Amino acid sequence: QVQVVESGRGLVQAGGSLRLSCAASGRTFSRHVMGWFRQAPGKEREFVAAITWSGGSSFYADSVKGRFTISRDNAKNTVYLQMNSLKPEDTAVYYCAVHWGGSYYSTGNYASWGQGTQVTVSS
Give tens-digit pLDDT for 33-72.
999 999 999 999 999 999 999 989 999 999 999 999 999 9
The pLDDT score that the predictor gives to residue 27 is: 75
The pLDDT score that the predictor gives to residue 94 is: 98
Residue 29 confidence class, pLDDT cut points 50, 70, 90: confident
For the chain, give the percent of residues with pLDDT over 70.
100
Mean pLDDT, rounded, for 12-18: 97
Residue 67 and residue 14: Cα distance in Å, rounded?
A: 12
Residue 121 and residue 86: Cα distance in Å, rounded?
A: 7
